[in-house]
């Protein structure tokens, strides 16, 4: 069994193939966290690790009376509360009917069952009864009757434990929820580094690793989306953990809105990590009998370093989060017209791009921004989702039919969540924009955000998009979002409920995505938010791939895709070859190198083929053929970071291997030239040491490649790359 409860010791053991998560119902009904790590016996009890002492200024529950050694101020909690004597970072804050701000949760009941608990309206991992189990623990405040249900899911094979929370107001008075996190995780030591992924637009998910210090440190977003600036995924690991060794803990939030990941080292060198919706943008009123379900977090532990942790998440997301027919189906290699034409295009020009692309083996044309309403620049038209036939010079059906006649598919760009001030929709419904009463407020990219907390707004967008999609054979949607939320006020909600808007917005987004993906199951949806501004597990539940960054420079992408790889499967990364000099950086890199980098993702192109030489077109043709051979490796294989872009200025290298360890792909980009160069050797991973493998025409043992390494050729030009197939010999 994956979940074992010992009635005698009152200990819960959650068991995956290689890990154990343990908690205990303690004295006075408090739920204590005992252990998370390497797998233990199912009847173990690690409560002996809790040191009981009388610590000054650490108070005691009233029931403890003269026992001053019992204090919530340093005992490990499973779900920490504000106001009950635990002064560390808390998981829940309420304002009760009498104005008090205390929550004091005690164990009431639990139940264990096969399969997965349900979180209506929210993205969540899923599995069949035989793949995992669920646990619900009900806690209740005996005075206010606020009830909290802690959900735990155990995905055994992938070593993933999911957590979620539901808060119920079982009292007779209205309460206000000011903070409610989805996960709290306590450790009895502080010798950790923490890894997080920061950035900005066009430079997302840069990797930063720092030792923990006493006090609080956090990352998060109050931008209404998970953001370019921080990602809702963090790692705690041993100070000396590497790719191959050391304890590593991952916390991933399956949510696409405002979030907070907060870590605190306390007075006795213990560590607490909490993650959930950011409280700065959250205030939720609950009338008697009302409830709120909070988003899911996915935890994973590896005793074998960062690589194993990565593969836990990659396998878990691929098998138990991605949905629909495109989850494991080969996705078409596409060309997007954006960097080729920007807003200057018509149907004839698009058809010519499609003809040129078809000759090179490319399978889909994506028509980007500018095809709808009055939209010749990014300052108008958003919200007016009807085809500008005058600009195209044809109907959308005629364009689609022409492209289909070539044997190509057609995709279309949308930005459904936005509204331009210069649009018919805004002139008719200015109240549909998020906007402060009496103020114009903050504008970004000359656009406002539609109030997706409103059903009438979502209904209009669904109707408008459906009319477009029903008019022609559209087989792909790029779903963009090009500004942060601002002016956060809904004209449809009373003043006391304005603290709900950000969360209700995200729920509304999920609602519309659910409707459209069910209505159009054959369409491939790609998420986007100015590139990687909403690259999170919540979006992956609805869109099996996400445009990784608006930055298509191959050298910059090395860092962006490196950081992304720690938690997210490589096949979910939208990655394209673009023109040089690069439109974002002005840098020029070899076309082969741009192909090597873009093949670490769902592959495509973003350039004007009419400006390519015959030699360049031949390179593209070969890249397309090559990627079709590699597609299953990229989307379903194991991924290894061999040499990262941090601390190594000579080479960045990575590798894919199939699950049978028979076939793989080695990729390397030389990032700096040297005069009289020293040798560059890269050690491969994931091979069987006794087997023989052929790499670049030479046969080696797996042991030789993993322990000795592969000697790379001396580069002949700046930023040269190498791609070698690995085949069992």
Q: Fill in the DSSP letter of residue 272.
A: E
Question: CB–CB of 22/6 below 8 Å?
Answer: no
DSSP SS3 for 721: strand
Distance between start and end Cα atoms, the chain? 41
Alpha carbon distance 638, 643 (integer Å)? 16
| Nearest residue to 361 via CA among 604, 569, 665 | 604
111 cis-preceded (ω within 30 degrees of 0): no
Q: Fill in the DSSP letter of residue 571.
A: G
Question: CB–CB of 102/84 below 8 Å?
Answer: yes
Alpha carbon distance 231, 509 (integer Å)? 19
Sheet order of strands, 233-238 included: 106-114, 132-140, 146-155, 160-169, 291-302, 248-253, 233-238, 192-200, 203-211
Alpha carbon distance 665, 722 (integer Å)? 10
List Cβ<8 Å contacts ≥24 apart for 212-218: 212/236, 212/263, 212/265, 212/271, 213/265, 214/190, 214/265, 214/266, 214/269, 215/264, 215/265, 216/89, 216/262, 216/263, 216/264, 217/262, 217/263, 217/264, 218/260, 218/261, 218/262, 218/263
Cα-Cα-Cα-Cα dihedral sign, residues 275, 280, 281, 282: positive
Alpha carbon distance 385, 520 (integer Å)? 17
Structure tokens, 452: 């997706």
Alpha carbon distance 28, 106 (integer Å)? 7
Give the chain's largest Cα–Cα span.
Answer: 86
Residue of 536, 550, 636, 720 marked catalytic: 536
DSSP SS3 for 471: helix
CA angle 227, 367, 399 (to 5 degrees): 155
Catalytic-residue membership of 616:
yes
Alpha carbon distance 48, 122 (integer Å)? 38
Q: Fill in the DSSP letter of residue 705.
A: I
Contacts of 339 (CB under 8 A, 6+ apart): 552, 578, 579, 583, 606, 607, 608
Residue of 616, 631, 658, 728 marked catalytic: 616
Contacts of 675 (CB under 8 A, 6+ apart): none
Cα–Cα distances (Å) from 110 to 5, 146, 688, in that order, read: 10, 16, 45
Enumerate the active-site residues: 536, 616
């Amino acid at each position: 069994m994956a979940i074992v409860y010992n009635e005698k010791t009152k200990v819960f053991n959650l068991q995956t193939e290689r890990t154990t998560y343990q908690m205990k119902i303690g004295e006075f009904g408090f739920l204590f966290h005992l252990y998370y790590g390497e797998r233990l016996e199912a009847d173990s009890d690690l409560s002996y690790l809790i040191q009981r002492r009388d610590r000054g200024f650490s108070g005691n529950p009233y029931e403890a009376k003269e026992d001053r050694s019992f204090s919530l101020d340093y005992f490990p909690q499973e779900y920490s509360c504000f106001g009950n004597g635990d002064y560390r970072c808390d998981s829940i804050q309420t304002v009760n009917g009498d104005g008090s701000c205390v929550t004091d949760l005690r164990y009431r009941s639990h139940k264990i069952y096969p399969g997965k608990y349900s979180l209506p309206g929210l993205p969540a991992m899923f599995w069949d009864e035989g793949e995992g189990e669920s646990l619900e623990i009900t806690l209740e405040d005996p005075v206010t009757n606020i009830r909290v249900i802690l959900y735990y899911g155990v995905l055994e094979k992938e070593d993933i434990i999911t957590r979620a929370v539901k808060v119920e107001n079982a009292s007779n008075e209205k309460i206000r929820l000011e903070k409610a996190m989805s996960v709290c995780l306590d450790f009895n030591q502080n010798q950790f580094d923490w890894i997080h992924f920061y950035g900005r637009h066009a430079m997302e998910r840069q990797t930063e690793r720092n030792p923990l210090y006493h006090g609080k440190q956090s990352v998060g977003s109050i931008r209404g989306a998970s953001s370019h600036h921080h990602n809702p995924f963090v790692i705690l690991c041993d100070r000396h953990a590497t790719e191959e060794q050391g304890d590593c803990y991952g916390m991933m939030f399956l949510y696409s809105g405002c979030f907070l990941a907060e870590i605190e080292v306390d007075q006795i060198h213990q560590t607490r990590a909490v993650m959930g919706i950011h409280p700065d943008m959250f205030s939720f009123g609950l009338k008697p009998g009302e409830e709120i379900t909070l988003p899911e977090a996915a935890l994973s532990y590896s005793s074998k370093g960062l690589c194993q942790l990565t593969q836990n998440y990659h396998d878990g997301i691929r098998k138990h989060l991605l949905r629909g027919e495109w989850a494991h189906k080969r996705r078409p290699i596409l060309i997007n017209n954006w960097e080729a034409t920007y807003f200057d295009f018509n149907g004839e020009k698009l058809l010519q791009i499609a003809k040129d692309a078809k000759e090179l083996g490319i399978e889909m044309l994506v028509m980007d921004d500018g095809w709808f309403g009055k939209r010749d620049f990014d300052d108008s038209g958003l919200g007016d989702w009807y085809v500008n036939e005058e600009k195209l010079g044809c109907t959308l059906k005629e364009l689609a039919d022409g492209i289909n006649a070539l044997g190509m598919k057609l995709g279309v760009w949308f930005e459904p969540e936005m509204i331009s001030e210069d649009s018919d929709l805004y002139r008719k419904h200015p109240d549909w924009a998020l906007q402060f009463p009496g103020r114009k407020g903050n504008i970004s990219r000359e656009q406002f955000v539609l109030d997706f907390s409103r059903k009438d707004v979502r209904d209009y967008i669904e109707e408008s998009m459906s009319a477009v999609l029903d008019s022609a054979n559209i087989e792909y949607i790029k779903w963009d979002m090009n500004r942060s939320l601002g002016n956060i006020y809904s004209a449809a909600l009373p003043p006391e409920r304005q603290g709900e808007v950000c969360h209700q917005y995200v729920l509304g987004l999920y609602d519309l995505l659910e409707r459209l993906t069910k209505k159009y199951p054959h369409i491939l949806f790609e998420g986007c938010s100015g590139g990687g501004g909403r690259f999170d597990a919540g979006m992956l539940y609805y869109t099996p791939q996400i445009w990784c960054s608006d930055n298509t420079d191959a050298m910059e992408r090395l860092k962006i895709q490196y950081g992304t790889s720690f938690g997210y499967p490589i096949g979910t990364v939208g990655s394209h070859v673009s023109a040089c000099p690069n439109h974002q950086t002005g840098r020029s890199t070899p076309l082969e190198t741009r192909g090597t980098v873009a093949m670490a993702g769902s592959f495509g192109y973003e350039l004007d083929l009419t400006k390519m030489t015959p030699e360049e077109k031949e390179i593209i043709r070969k890249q397309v053929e090559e990627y079709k051979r590699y597609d299953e490796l990229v989307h379903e294989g194991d991924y290894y970071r061999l040499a990262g872009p941090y601390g190594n200025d000579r080479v960045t290298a990575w590798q894919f291997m199939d699950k049978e360890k028979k076939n793989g792909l080695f990729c390397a980009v030389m990032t700096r030239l040297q005069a009289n160069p020293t040798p560059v050797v890269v050690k491969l991973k994931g091979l069987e040491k006794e087997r023989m493998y052929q790499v670049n025409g030479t046969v080696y043992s797996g042991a030789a490649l993993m322990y000795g390494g592969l000697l790379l050729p001396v580069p002949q030009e700046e930023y040269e790359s190498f791609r070698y197939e690995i085949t069992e010999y």
